[in-house]
Structure 1
Amino acid sequence: MKSVPVIAIFDIGKTNKKFFLIDEYYKIVLERTVNFEETVDDDGDPCEDIDLLANWVKQSLTDILSLKKFEVKALNFSTYGASFVHIDNDGKVTAPLCNYLKDFPAELKDEFYAKYGGETLVSSQTASPVLGNLNSGMQLYRIKHKKPELFNRIKYSLHLPQYLNFLVTGSYYSDITSIGCHTQLWDFVKNDYHNWVYQEGIDKILAPIFPSDVTMNKVIDGHEYHVGAGLHDSSAALIPYLTSFSEPFILISTGTWCISLNPFNNNPLTTDELNKDCLCYMEYHGKPVKASRLFAGNEHEKQTKRIAEHFKKPLDQYKKVKYNAGFVKAAKNDDANTPVLMQQSLFGDRDLSAFSSYDEAYHCLIQDIMTQQQVSTTLVIQDTGVKRIFVDGGFGKNVVYMNMLATAFPHLEVFAASVAQATAIGAALSIHKHWNSKTIPGDMIELKYYALAHQMEADEIKQS
């Protein structure tokens, strides 16, 4: 039996660690998922068990390469961001991986920003709000000043995707999608590392940058494989859309956060935008992707629990709610002049006894979230000629949210979009030309068009 040509992808999230084999038609032909218990770092704080992860990657690769059913042509990696693995001169991991949720020392933060021009200046230049350890460059600053012995042991600090590449190839590289994603390492104005990186000598432990769409060749057991340098997961998940659509679009990636990504917006971030939780990601060819964040998924989870308890309904009752334009009108007329809050919606202050039913209350919740969403997404549209909005993730399956979004942006085409395992597919697409001679399929993204909401309103206006 002829073996199936595939690419192997390691897709590492904070909770789920996934391994995929993807064929030349971008269909997933094998999937494995594991979860690992966290360990603790040298301060006793929870962190990724890098030894468990490394052993799993190596064993998974050994197992797959031995299968006769598949012919692995290439490998690539995508992982969560803001995570460095520190390698010593012997190629060994020399320190625990810092969890980006760990608190950053306040006095060290104050010292850093006082030294380099203040939070506003550094944030503007590096296209990232001040986020503590989520600015992964600050992890390196902390090591240098708080743990100088460790700093002196480090040959290279590799972002997690490039550490996985190192496990396979033995090569040390950095990648622009990880460097450019809220690290405060990269100066988006001069398109180089920020001055502080050079002044602190941090550049000496950052490996050379390897292009995200190029591969290195690695021979394993007599077989040659094309190996990508690895990608930050948010940048990888954008690639199927960049591959499929050339006209300017917004992608709203929804989950705990609703992140509006505009790959066609090259305007510098303003102080006002930074204060409203805007930042820049980096597209895999090295172009900035302006983005805005809204904590809408978290707000939705919190408030649906409150609504369910009040009306004595199951927690997932919202999944059964059908869109009702009449409820939307009632919600629209309330608090029209209330300032928009970017972290929580107005709904938390609403009296649930004012609603006659669960469905009415839920429509009001989504309308309050949509008031924020409209502001957040508009921040990154600007003068970029955007014609479409794609929504992936949980809210893309929510008919109330999607209809209200279509109403909020009546001049744009609004689609619920889904790509099965978009991050893994994106990592495979980034090096398509090196392993796959077939044409990229046109049906990778499933779309559902939402025009109903504003069409209904237009019809009502005509009738009145």
Structure 2
Amino acid sequence: MTHTLILDIGKTNAKLLLINEAGEVLAREVQANEAVQGPDYLELGVAALEAWLLRCIPALPQRERIAHLHISTHGAAFCAIDGERLVLPPMDYEWDGYGAHREAFHRLADGFDATGSPDLPLGLNAGLQLYWLQQTQPAAWQRIRYWLPYPQYWAWWFSGVAASEVSSLGCHTHLWLPERQQPAAWARRAGIADLFAPLRPAWEVLGPVKPDLAVRLQLPTTCQVHVGVHDSNACLARHLHAVPHGTVVSTGTWCVVMAPGGTAAALTPGRDELVNVSVEGGAVPTARFMGGREFAALCGGADPALATLAALDELLAQGWAATPSFAEAGPYQGQQGRVWQHGLVQAAGAQAVPAHLRPALAALYGADITAELVASLANGAAASAPVVVEGPLAGNVVYNTALSAWLAGRRVLRSTDALEGTARGAWMLADWPARARLSGWYEPLPEVGQDLQQRLHRYRNQRTALLVSI
């Protein structure tokens, strides 16, 4: 039996997972990610991740059985290499020092109708990052051989083979035309598209781990490195064929709602709605918000495990509510989040809520925004297809109860897989399409009693009225 090593780099943490052919996790290592202030911009901590990999991989059990290595990372991150080394470190997408270059970029970039990329805050459009670097780092720019999306950078670090991949090029970058499946016109005119490495599928093998690196990592010289994938699209891949046309709700730092059965025509870019690109190249209508970050803000330090049905009952009885937004992204970006009791705004915000009720409010708020986004993408085949919830909130009883009530009429499933969707999707892509239809980790959300359902609908109507009143 051989094993697959998954490197899963999220914005908050990086994880190494050793998974056997049966899909069981044999070992797990976690490293917190920290940005580094470089001379010109805030950088992702590449050096720290390299040191962690060099330290942790040689300590993994059963290394001699590792036959595949697959990588999943967050989006909005690109690395410039000269063929042998990193030339420009990846920018942290939360840095916002673009100044007048942002406006100049928006004048150049193809429109939303072509790219499916809205104009996002901070550095969440990777095309803006690359444009700014082209304008401000001319000497370094001359040395660039390839611009690699973050998953493909790490695949290159392991294998020495450079590649590009559609799910990373097409995740709100302004660099890709999803319908035409080619680089954006502005990126071609600017010479940026000329620096993209050859396009290869996420599941394809690039080659073995570099011999000298295999020795340092104590990996077999036959261990094959795959191209890699954008993390949200790794989550989508695991359900793409198991639940055809299903709308996938991937929860985490970002809560991303993806409707491969929907149509992009009705998307509203100002609400952080966009077109993602699946690993198979299909355009995927998508909406999102920073649910994990907003959940933490509303918890205000309280233990998330306090989100119980008893707490939900007490929360509704006391008249608490929350209106968006508590992060700089999502359908209500730019709007100040507020906490209310019996229709009166609370100056202390989340801290006004009793600590034992805050996690229930946070979960209720997350379910509220999720239900709104699912409804906004409910067109075409997505209008009647099942909804699949996965990630941390899939195990939250308050979130699931509210979502079940607010999506009544839709078949709503939750993933019971103990392994997070990004890692499971990457594992499946290490043997694609053979693993594409694997399932067995779905269960329907429980139906909600009539009394609680009515109370939850009253809460939602109240939240809508409060938003209108602001």
Q: What TM-score do the two structures reach when normalised by structure 2?
A: 0.79
C-alpha distance in 1 between matches for 2:113 and 2:126? 16
SS at 2:265 equivalent: coil
Which stretch of the first structure deviates more once superposed, 224-233 or 252-261? Answer: 252-261
Which stretch of the first structure deviates more once superposed, 217-226 or 48-57? Answer: 217-226
SS at 2:27 equivalent: strand
Task: Determine which of 167, 171, 191 is the counterpart of 2:161.
Answer: 171
Contact 1:414 1:451 in 2 (8 A): no
- 2:237 is the counterpart of 1:239: yes
RMSD across aligned C-alpha pairs, in angstroms? 3.6
Task: Determine which of 396, 411, 414 is the counterpart of 1:413.
Answer: 411
SS at 1:94 equivalent: strand
Which one-letter code corresponds to 1:278 in the other structure?
E
Percent of pairs identical after alignment? 23
Match of 1:322 in 2: 310
Task: Determine which of 108, 112, 125 is the counterpart of 2:105.
Answer: 112
Which stretch of the first structure deviates more once superposed, 236-245 or 203-212? Answer: 236-245
Match of 1:461 in 2: none
C-alpha distance in 2 between matches for 1:177 and 1:455? 43
Which one-letter code corresponds to 1:395 in the other structure?
L
Which one-letter code corresponds to 1:432 in the other structure?
D
Match of 2:468 in 1: none
Match of 1:404 in 2: 402
Task: Determine which of 291, 294, 301 is the counterpart of 2:286.
Answer: 291
Which one-letter code corresponds to 1:409 in the other structure?
L
Q: Please list every run of 5 or more consecutive structure 1 residues that lacks an aligned counterpart in the other structure.
A: 309-313, 459-464
- 2:182 is the counterpart of 1:192: yes
Match of 2:374 in 1: 377
Contact 2:322 2:365 in 1 (8 A): no
Contact 1:403 1:453 in 2 (8 A): no
SS at 2:233 equivalent: helix
Aligned residues: 429
C-alpha distance in 1 between matches for 2:159 and 2:359? 52
SS at 1:381 equivalent: coil
Contact 1:328 1:367 in 2 (8 A): no
Classify 1:415/1:102 alpha carbon distance in 2 versus 1 (closer, same or farther; 3 Å): same
SS at 2:199 equivalent: coil
Where in structure 2 are the equivalents of 1:170-319 lying within 5 Å? 170-218=160-208, 220=211, 223-246=221-244, 248-268=245-265, 270=267, 273-305=268-300, 316=304, 318-319=306-307
Match of 1:97 in 2: 90
SS at 2:88 equivalent: coil
Classify 1:408/1:68 alpha carbon distance in 2 versus 1 (closer, same or farther; 3 Å): closer
Match of 2:328 in 1: none
Which one-letter code corresponds to 1:416 in the other structure?
R
Contact 1:42 1:96 in 2 (8 A): no
Deviation at 1:316, TM superposition (A): 4.7
Contact 2:75 2:230 in 1 (8 A): yes
Classify 1:394/1:15 alpha carbon distance in 2 versus 1 (closer, same or farther; 3 Å): closer
Match of 1:311 in 2: none
C-alpha distance in 2 between matches for 1:157 and 1:448? 43
Task: Determine which of 108, 114, 121 is the counterpart of 1:125.
Answer: 114
Per-residue CA deviation, residues 332-359 of structure 1 (Å, 9 max, x unaligned), is 9999xxxx95656664574389x99888
Where in structure 2 are the equivalents of 1:311-350 lying within 5 Å? 316=304, 318-322=306-310, 341=332, 347-348=339-340, 350=343
Classify 1:177/1:75 alpha carbon distance in 2 versus 1 (closer, same or farther; 3 Å): same
Classify 1:348/1:103 alpha carbon distance in 2 versus 1 (closer, same or farther; 3 Å): farther
- 2:5 is the counterpart of 1:8: yes
Deviation at 1:111, TM superposition (A): 1.5
C-alpha distance in 2 between matches for 1:231 and 1:424? 10
Where in structure 2 are the equivalents of 1:8-157 lying within 5 Å? 8-35=5-32, 37-43=34-40, 45-58=41-54, 60-61=56-57, 70-89=64-83, 91-116=84-109, 122-131=111-120, 132-157=122-147
C-alpha distance in 1 between matches for 2:75 and 2:171? 8
Match of 1:451 in 2: 447
Deviation at 1:284, TM superposition (A): 0.8
Which one-letter code corresponds to 2:237 in the other structure?
I
Q: What TM-score do the two structures reach when normalised by structure 1?
A: 0.80
Which one-letter code corresponds to 2:229 in the other structure?
L
Which stretch of the first structure deviates more once superposed, 173-182 or 135-144? Answer: 135-144
Classify 1:47/1:143 alpha carbon distance in 2 versus 1 (closer, same or farther; 3 Å): closer
Which one-letter code corresponds to 1:130 in the other structure?
D
Q: Please list every run of 5 or more consecutive structure 2 residues that lacks an aligned counterpart in the other structure.
A: 215-219, 324-330, 347-351, 455-470
Per-residue CA deviation, residues 198-250 of structure 1 (Å, 9 max, x unaligned), is 1101012111111112223327478433321111111112222224323x322
Contact 1:392 1:416 in 2 (8 A): yes
SS at 2:29 equivalent: strand
